[in-house]
């Protein structure tokens, strides 16, 4: 069935708008953190996979880092393992860490890899333990208390922070024309496994590779201002000001901090986008308007 004239013109307009972005980003590395509703909604999952495959086919080098909090919580519940959170972070003992590795390193990771490959890509799934990709250390929380002269240190178990990214592993995969799909599990120098926030891993990977873009998919349209409108085109100084005056707070603060650190570390731009929008990744990369919050080092 042929297109009518108006439909054909719309298709031509979209392709024409995309052309300069394809030319600009050919050969560039783009790190995408995949999580939230897009991971558990089958249609969004497939659309994300097709976006990643298209990016690769037009000459970009996408790298996917994924989360899996809801899936971990669901399996823990089925196994009757209680979950405790401190300041939004899951307390992870050895038993819980075994579940984390099962979910992130196996079921979730391989599901994403399979979906990308079914749509024509060449994805390879790895964790931070493979090839020593992510060297990690224990993350301890500090909590201020008026009764104490120094902050209270809270140990939340096998929750880690990134100490080093071994870029050689990623260079080999990208050089072989593969799409790396990374589960955010790191390993300490003592061989202990750590569960690491996926945004944090994505930001550090982007920084080490000096990526063109870091894209963090979330369940909201982006960073909202006081008028509830999406803020975009932000420089690092403006983001620092928004943090200082409290505009950026709560659950958005860690995500923005990861994006800000990456941009300050040499990533050309970071994007906070709504992963529930169909083909959100393509819309952000290939259109003039974009669909989320853009942060660059201005």
Q: Which of 285, 215, 213 is nearest to 255 (CA)?
A: 215
Q: What is the pLDDT of residues 79-109, one digit of tens each?
A: 999 888 877 778 888 999 999 999 999 999 9
Q: What is the pLDDT of residues 215-243, one digit of tens each?
A: 999 888 778 777 777 878 888 888 888 88
Q: 136: which residues sit within 8 A by CB, 6+ positions away?
A: 128, 160, 161, 162, 163, 186, 187, 188, 194, 196
Task: State the burial class of residue 2 (Cβ atoms within 10 Å of its Cβ: 0-12, 13-18, 19+).
Answer: exposed
Pull the structure tokens for residue 262: 């990456």
State residue 229's pLDDT score: 79
Residue with tokens 């958005």: 252
CA distances from 245 to 72, 84, 258, 298 (A): 35, 31, 18, 20
Architecture of domain 27-296: 3-Layer(aba) Sandwich (3.40)
Please check whether residue 192 is in contact with residue 92, taking contact to mean a CB–CB distance below 8 angstroms.
Answer: no
CA 43 to chain CA centroid, Å, is: 19
């Amino acid at each position: 069935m042929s297109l009518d004239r108006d439909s054909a013109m719309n298709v031509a307009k979209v392709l024409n708008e995309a052309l300069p972005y394809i030319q600009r980003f050919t050969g560039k590395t783009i790190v995408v953190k995949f999580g939230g509703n897009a991971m558990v909604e089958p249609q969004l999952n497939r659309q994300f996979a097709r976006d990643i495959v298209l990016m690769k086919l037009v000459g970009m080098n996408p790298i996917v880092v994924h989360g899996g909090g809801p899936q971990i919580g669901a399996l823990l519940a089925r196994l009757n393992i209680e979950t405790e959170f401190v300041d939004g972070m899951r307390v992870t003992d050895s038993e819980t860490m075994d579940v984390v590795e099962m979910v992130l390193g196996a079921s979730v990771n391989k599901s994403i890899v399979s979906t990308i490959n079914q749509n024509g890509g060449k994805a390879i799934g790895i964790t931070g333990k493979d090839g020593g990709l992510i060297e990690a250390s224990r993350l301890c929380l500090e909590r201020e208390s008026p009764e104490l002269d120094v902050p209270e240190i809270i140990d939340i178990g096998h929750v880690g922070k990134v100490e080093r990214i071994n870029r050689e592993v990623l260079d080999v995969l990208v050089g072989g024309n593969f799409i790396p799909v990374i589960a955010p599990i790191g390993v300490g120098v003592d061989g202990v496994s750590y569960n690491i926030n996926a945004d944090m891993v994505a930001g550090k990977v982007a920084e080490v590779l000096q990526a063109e873009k870091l894209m963090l998919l979330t369940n909201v349209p982006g960073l909202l201002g006081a008028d509830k409108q999406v803020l975009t085109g932000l420089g690092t100084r403006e983001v620092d000001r928004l943090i200082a005056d409290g505009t950026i707070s709560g659950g958005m603060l860690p995500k923005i901090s990861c994006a800000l650190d990456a941009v300050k570390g040499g990533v050309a731009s970071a994007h906070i986008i709504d992963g529930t929008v169909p083909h959100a990744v393509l819309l952000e990369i290939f259109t003039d308007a974009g669909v989320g919050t853009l942060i660059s080092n201005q």
